[in-house]
Amino acid sequence: MSRLLSRLNPEQRRAVETTEGPVLVLAGAGTGKTRVITYRIAHLMEKGVPATAILAMTFTNKAAGEMRERVADLVGRRAAKKLTVGTFHAFCVKALRAHADAIEMPAGFSICDSSDQIAAIKSALRELHVPEASLRPRDLHSKISLLKNQLVSAEEFLDNALDDEEQLIGRAYQKYDATLRRARSLDFDDLLVKLVGLFRTHPAIRDNFRNRYRYVLVDEFQDTNKPQFGIVRGIADGHRNLCVVGDDDQSIYGWRGAEVKQILEFDKRYAGAVVVRLETNYRSTSQILDAANAVISNNPARHKKTLRSHIGKGEDIGVVVHEDEEKEANSVVFDIVGKMARRDLSFADFAVLFRTAPQSRVFEQAFRANDIPYILVGGMSFFDRKEIRDLLAYVKQMVNPLDEMSFMRVVNTPPRGVGKSSLDALLDFATKKGISVPQALDLSPSAIDGVTERAMTSIRELRASLARLAEGAKARELVNGIRRMIEATDYQTELVRIYADQETRDMRAQAIVEFLNMAENYLNRSDAPSLSGFVEEIALSASDDRPGGDDKGQGKNAVTLMTLHAAKGLEFPHVYLVGLEEGILPHQKAIRDAGDAEERRLAYVGITRAQRRLAISYAATRARFGKRVDTMPSRFLFEMRGETPPSGWCASGTPPELRPDGPIAPPTGTRAATPSAARATTPRSAANSTTPRTSGSPGRRPAKSAGARRRGPPRNRPIPPGLRDANKRKRTR
């Protein structure tokens, strides 16, 4: 046995050693799937497989980076550098740029970020004379994205439209794609769809990929959609050396196009596939895993597996019912305070997980009122800041002057005399000609009806200036070129115009400095730096398929607040899984649209985030749509206990007239919260903490809730029982 294989357990070793033919590795939560993938790559190289013949794909830049680092630790950095390891989107960009002529796009095509996509959607609706109030742009974008992830074209959707609404969606889909084509741009979904189409229409190109990549590995296979699996099959079906690693029990992105059937039917699609089950969990205690196993076993369509703990039994899982959601939040704060007083813990050891983003509000209020530092994962991204989007649009214009979305963003930012009437006239002219606004300006550079002479002059000067700046921002001059662009466009005046107070302006200006720092970092690690490469790297960093795919909040001593979708792939010593009520988890709309299987998987993901301790709670009443309503404990609570819901229990969606008048019996072992547990107290260490409370502006303390004290525990609140007992023991000693 090699030195590599001796470090693996028997199941992991089998997954690593089975190198030929199709392999399905069912990696339960916390069973070491990344270890299997990285050791498998190292084992292949140890057997003499060239690094250039290995392709490993995953979903987030963070996961890809971790995979590269761990392989480099095993085989050395020089050898690992020859591997192709990255996200699906990054792989597709490289492949499409290499074969841009075959997809009738320039090699320097732009990649639309989410803001660009919404702008293109609005342009499509404007061309169709459809008001945004009747068809919300974000809803339309979600629908188009889902159709692309199902490999349904606009024409195919239109041919099968069942009503006027679907006809409208189909026409908007067509206009949206036409807008992107005019701007020489692709959205994130296009990157996948175009490569599938390239493989289908150009078999010779597909075969080149097959001949190069003789061993293909896919991480998080349960989250692949139809185009992603189409890409994998296009490359791997020639030699069948395909290893997919995933867990159908953690497939929680069906609403975004992921198809769990692809992992469920893998061994049928690939006859003779070896199936390896990783069931030894190195993360959580037996108590936690027993609860997770009990819940997920109620899903009929799944690969059978049972997680076993390598750690041991651990603490019992506490289930508590609270009077309402505010008392639930206060109880969590109270419990954290008590744990911090009795044990050597940090705030970063705790996480509060919930099904929907609005549930965070009461927890944020409770943490703020008690001066507990917290981080809300999923708050505003650095790339969502106005000044960053503006600067990125300027750089995109330098790279691709035909990019209409970026042009429309910067043309009058800061104001340069191009008013709304002139822009409307420009758009009207371009729409009638069936071309983009930049193409219209190229077609008629001197005058366009309805566009003032001053506006035309400003536009010509801006475009000429950006073209000159682009020439001076090549290779090692990239950062200086961006700095000169910021100065030439006088962007600082935009900050003065928008933000009245100096403190806010300074904070926004710091974001501009950070943008330059990003460019500097890109320059230092790139062998062939370019403006287009810099823009591409930023775009791909925004294409992570997971809400929690970044490093936000890591290294800060603060409690983490996050949705269950964002928590995928993370782990915490102490987890509070809150709001386990019918209608929330499982979510009423989700089970109405697709049944409760994915919601059950979401509950399973939440349970298995806990390493040492799991506390579960729900509220007996909750404010919904401006009224306080009685709730039903989640079906998953009963499944966790192996019980059938009692008489009177109603599933989510039951009409009000069929619901019982009084409370029903909670699951066995559920504890009703005591009055003291609904109030919190703050340890002095928390009150004096300088850790940022939220994911918002760095270095600023949020406004406190009315009446909150700045230092020390409020005198009119009880001392937590654990802290009171600790003080009593001290006095006794």
Set 609, 622, 635, 693: catalytic member: 609
Give the CA-trace dihedral at 270, 275, 281, 286, to 10 degrees.
110
- Which pLDDT band holds residue 250 (cuts at 50, 70, 90)? very high
Set 12, 38, 228, 250: catalytic member: 250
8 A C-beta contact, residue 594 and residue 565: no
8 A C-beta contact, residue 318 and residue 338: no
CA separation for the pair 681, 721 (Å, rounded):
11
* CA 452 to the chain's CA centroid: 44
> At residue 613, what is the residue type?
R
Residue 609 designated active-site: yes
Put simply, whether the predicted model's pTM sits higher than 0.75 gets the answer yes
Q: What is the pLDDT of residue 296?
A: 97
Token representation of residue 524? 């230092």
Q: Does residue 313 register a pLDDT over 60?
A: yes
Write b or e for each residue in 236-257: b if 16 or more Cβ atoms lie within 10 A of its Cβ, otherwise e: beebebbbbbbbbbbbbbbeeb
Q: What is the pLDDT of residue 702?
A: 37
Residue 219 designated active-site: yes
- Give the torsion sign (CA, 231, 233, 236, 239): negative
Q: At what angle do helices 721-732 and 325-342 cross, to 10 degrees?
A: 20
- Which pLDDT band holds residue 342 (cuts at 50, 70, 90)? confident
Cβ count within 10 A of residue 471: 11
Cβ count within 10 A of residue 647: 8
User: Long-range contacts: 653-661, Cβ < 8 Å, 24+?
Assistant: 653/583, 653/588, 653/591, 653/592, 659/630, 659/632
Phi and psi, residue 98, nearest 5°: -70, -25
Q: Which of 375, 407, 515, 447 is nearest to 123 (CA)?
A: 407
CA separation for the pair 85, 218 (Å, rounded):
10
Set 113, 116, 187, 220: catalytic member: 220
- Which pLDDT band holds residue 696 (cuts at 50, 70, 90)? very low
What confidence tens digit (pLDDT) does each residue in 155-212 have? Answer: 999 999 999 999 999 999 999 999 999 889 999 999 999 999 999 999 999 999 999 9
Map 84-144 to HEC letters: EEEEHHHHHHHHHHHCHHHHCCCCCCEECCHHHHHHHHHHHHHHCCCCCCCCCHHHHHHHH
Q: What is the pLDDT of residue 194?
A: 97
Average pLDDT, rounded, for the chain: 86
If you average pLDDT over residues 449-460, what whole number do you get? Answer: 91
- Give the torsion sign (CA, 697, 699, 703, 708): positive
CA separation for the pair 640, 140 (Å, rounded):
38
Q: What is the pLDDT of residue 544?
A: 59
Token representation of residue 231? 């890409």
Q: Does residue 49 register a pLDDT over 80?
A: yes
Residue 34 designated active-site: yes
Set 11, 127, 219, 290: catalytic member: 219
CA separation for the pair 408, 234 (Å, rounded):
38
- Which pLDDT band holds residue 704 (cuts at 50, 70, 90)? very low
Q: What is the pLDDT of residue 709?
A: 34
Strand partners of residue 277: 26
Set 11, 12, 33, 364: catalytic member: 33
Question: Does an H or E element contain 417, and which?
Answer: none
> At residue 384, what is the residue type?
D
Q: What is the pLDDT of residue 662?
A: 64
CA separation for the pair 41, 79 (Å, rounded):
11
Q: What is the pLDDT of residue 230?
A: 97
- Which pLDDT band holds residue 379 (cuts at 50, 70, 90)? low
If you average pLDDT over residues 636-655, what whole number do you get? Answer: 87
Q: Which of 551, 545, 514, 568 is nearest to 114 (CA)?
A: 545
Set 34, 150, 504, 691: catalytic member: 34
Residue 433 designated active-site: no
